[in-house]
Chains A and B, each alone.
Chain A
């Protein structure tokens, strides 16, 4: 499919990179010559220099014959304008990034009235992800599938954990619920394990489980499941704004430390229930004065990665049970994960993920069968949700009989609203959706790609 992306920032270039690897024709528009030049060196895409909302530029980029336009410039209005123009030119699908909370509240209206296919709001998405994660502090990451009925959660096996030394085949004997370990990260190596795999302390495992069993899972792995009641947020960014709104509704006490006075004033205006402190959250004195050691969750959301990391290190040091860090640059994730910052979020990556999921779903209507895509283990593993259709091969055979490609497994089957954690005896039926976990080096565009083809 031909896809036009307006805005070659972090999100735009991530999208271009990802989508071009999946076999799409990408045309990237940006109004910065240097950026355009750099992108055309780095990526195998077509670049157009100019203002994406100008008719001539859009015609240059051949928007009228494209299947999709994605507008991810820094300005909301420009993004919307690009989409409206593209619609009028005949582009069927348009996606705009809109971040202003005031517009975000009217996103349904914008979508319907302006004929947009999707509006992405990275800050809101991040806030929701953080919020969802906070419900289960024992998991470092949580991805939902099957309309929220199943999850893949990330668990770190600590020294002395009862999971330490367990062979996966034996795992179900130790647990009262059915779960499936679908990926393991050991050191920097990623493994899609089979039954003979033996877990060790220090492994990060990715476990599939029905959402309803998550509480039980927390109990089994011996983690305390304290819900966030006292939350300290450093940096009153938009993510903080959305997150505070969600937290206050659950009755949590939220304290926000924000450096800018005008912004503090705005937050105090919006959230009378929250405690707003106008101070520098990266200063140890301020954190001490505001009793950072007593909170159960500390979230760093300032605009500076370095500040966020420093504060998170400090929070770990004083023993805050749950620390969540926002990091814009994802290159160094490995580095600080080793140093104890496990729960790091990148809003831009999340935004790109969201859009790629949509593009996949679009293809679904054109014959492919992939519903959504999630990145796991720093993008080294993909979890794909696919539909099982009449065209799917090996219908009715048990999974033990089917030969799957190496480094790939079926993590979960969702049948008529019921979540099945599959064993060798389960079969695939028409109407199911399945979650397939595989390493990133393999591109799966159709469910049939997972089977070893008999030539």
Chain B
């Protein structure tokens, strides 16, 4: 294990996190919120004190492999989340430390579950920090560092980091150099973010609202700065947010192909087609199901589309209290939680591509039953999918559901209804945010016990990092010499 390298990268991440707290600190200073100012100042000082010496460690290039990549990503996310929770605790706005961690983890993993009963009472600096965590966590903290500077020049070791941090099944580079690929992703990400802020600004809302909503959309997180999430914003704001939630949950490679005018590749992309098809079918089904509840057809479609986009992109905003919807609509939404966004996007969940591969593998299993000696391969986008990937998706699903049901069992100890527990774990594990019943869009997670909150925190991290970087931390042979 290349400990020097690990310490060095973790150190750098801590410095970067300190730098990212500066805008929140400035907002707090501007608002003269002394508690928040102290919170950010102390955290920044701690981050630098611990991070700088580590970042200065000279790295050894040799011995940086996939294992180190996974360990760095797992550790980095733990460290970033822990320190990210400190400002809430030090400022005294969230008195319980576990709650602070929950809020921070929920931010960085772009979940958007909150333990706050009254969001609006939080100082603007802290609200900004919460939302900004979404934006950072969306594309990935390590991808950001890679975009800033290559870790090892021309060695390609960073590939392991990107593999470990970004969601998806097949992780290829867009351009030959890892550093450039990461930069390209962030350029697209920043570009789309700015476009959304501009669109929202046209809706005559305060800039602070526009920025925080955009952060929540871009990272597909879903922290709102209002207690009723997005319900009180104008239809225009809701429509813009709907469109951008769908955009940010699309594979970013698609945008790259659009930029280089390879439209054929976009049209050929099966995941994109499946993703859009799921969205359209869900919107149609829910619109019909809830048609009697809203005044006009337009409003019905708007709410149905907003909720579908919000859940499938695993953002978790709400334009209406969908907990009051009929069971069928709620059923669709819960299903969408599990399906989740596209690979290579900022969203969570199982990912459309895995569902697609599972579906095809299932079809093949039936085919094999009919033609025992038949030879059939799984094709995706017109190309053959390696058997190794197919079986890795299958084992991923196995582990995924093992963790899901284990967490569900642990959370049921608190004694809430099954619907509350099930959707709470599903919403956290898939990085959605709100669930149904006790954790519905107008409710929050404050009622859970400390223990359940820790379980849910881990679920969020497991979900965001797609299981393996976290599992590896708990796997004994990782640490053996």
A residues bordering B, Cβ < 8 Å? 261, 264-265, 267-269, 272, 275-279, 286, 290
Hey, which chain B residues are within 8 Å of A261, CB to CB? 375
CA distance A163 to B148 in the complex (A): 85
Contact A269 B371 (CB under 8 A): no
CA distance A220 to B179 in the complex (A): 73
CA distance A290 to B379 in the complex (A): 23
Whole-angstrom distance from the CB of A74 to the nearest CB of chain B? 28
Q: Is B273 part of the binding interface, using a Cβ–Cβ cutoff of 8 Å?
A: no
CA distance A101 to B232 in the complex (A): 63
CA distance A4 to B52 in the complex (A): 79
A-B pairs with beta carbons under 8 Å apart, 22 shown: A261-B375, A264-B375, A265-B375, A265-B377, A267-B375, A268-B375, A268-B376, A269-B377, A272-B377, A272-B379, A275-B371, A275-B376, A276-B374, A276-B375, A276-B376, A277-B373, A277-B374, A277-B375, A278-B374, A278-B375, A279-B373, A286-B373
Q: Is B384 part of the binding interface, using a Cβ–Cβ cutoff of 8 Å?
A: yes
CA distance A269 to B383 in the complex (A): 8
CA distance A333 to B377 in the complex (A): 39
Hey, which chain B residues are within 8 Å of A264, CB to CB? 375
The digit string for B3-22, where 1 denotes a CB below 8 A from any CB of A, is 00000000000000000000
Whole-angstrom distance from the CB of B361 to the nearest CB of chain A? 14
Whole-angstrom distance from the CB of A375 to the nearest CB of chain B? 38
Of B371, B373, B376, B384, most A-chain CB atoms within 10 Å: B373
Task: Give residues 372-404 of B contacting A (CB, 8 Å).
Answer: 373-377, 379, 384
CA distance A275 to B364 in the complex (A): 11
Q: CB-nearest residue of chain B relative to A276? A: B375
Task: Give residues 281-335 of B contacting A (CB, 8 Å).
Answer: none
Q: CB-nearest residue of chain A relative to B378? A: A272
Task: Give residues 388-447 of B contacting A (CB, 8 Å).
Answer: none
Whole-angstrom distance from the CB of A313 to the nearest CB of chain B? 23
Task: Give residues 354-375 of B contacting A (CB, 8 Å).
Answer: 371, 373-375
Whole-angstrom distance from the CB of A290 to the nearest CB of chain B? 8
Hey, which chain A residues are within 8 Å of B377, CB to CB? 265, 268-269, 272
Hey, which chain B residues are within 8 Å of A272, CB to CB? 377, 379
CA distance A272 to B373 in the complex (A): 16
CA distance A40 to B105 in the complex (A): 87
**Given contacts A268-B377, A269-B377, are A277 and B371 in contact (CB under 8 A)?**
yes
The digit string for B184-205, where 1 denotes a CB below 8 A from any CB of A, is 0000000000000000000000
Hey, which chain A residues are within 8 Å of B373, CB to CB? 277-279, 286
Hey, which chain B residues are within 8 Å of A275, CB to CB? 371, 374, 376
Task: Give residues 21-70 of B contacting A (CB, 8 Å).
Answer: none
Whole-angstrom distance from the CB of B389 to the nearest CB of chain A? 14
Q: CB-nearest residue of chain A relative to B383? A: A269
Of B371, B375, B384, most A-chain CB atoms within 10 Å: B375
CA distance A272 to B363 in the complex (A): 13
Q: CB-nearest residue of chain A relative to B372? A: A289
CA distance A277 to B368 in the complex (A): 10
CA distance A290 to B376 in the complex (A): 15
CA distance A277 to B377 in the complex (A): 12
Whole-angstrom distance from the CB of A268 to the nearest CB of chain B? 5
CA distance A261 to B375 in the complex (A): 8
Whole-angstrom distance from the CB of B212 to the nearest CB of chain A? 46
The digit string for B132-160, where 1 denotes a CB below 8 A from any CB of A, is 00000000000000000000000000000
Whole-angstrom distance from the CB of B390 to the nearest CB of chain A? 13
CA distance A277 to B379 in the complex (A): 17
Hey, which chain B residues are within 8 Å of A278, CB to CB? 373-375
Hey, which chain A residues are within 8 Å of B374, CB to CB? 275-278
Whole-angstrom distance from the CB of A150 to the nearest CB of chain B? 39
Q: CB-nearest residue of chain A relative to B373? A: A279
Whole-angstrom distance from the CB of B206 to the nearest CB of chain A? 53
Hey, which chain B residues are within 8 Å of A269, CB to CB? 377, 384
CA distance A264 to B374 in the complex (A): 9
Hey, which chain A residues are within 8 Å of B375, CB to CB? 261, 264-265, 267-268, 276-278
Hey, which chain A residues are within 8 Å of B371, CB to CB? 275, 277, 290
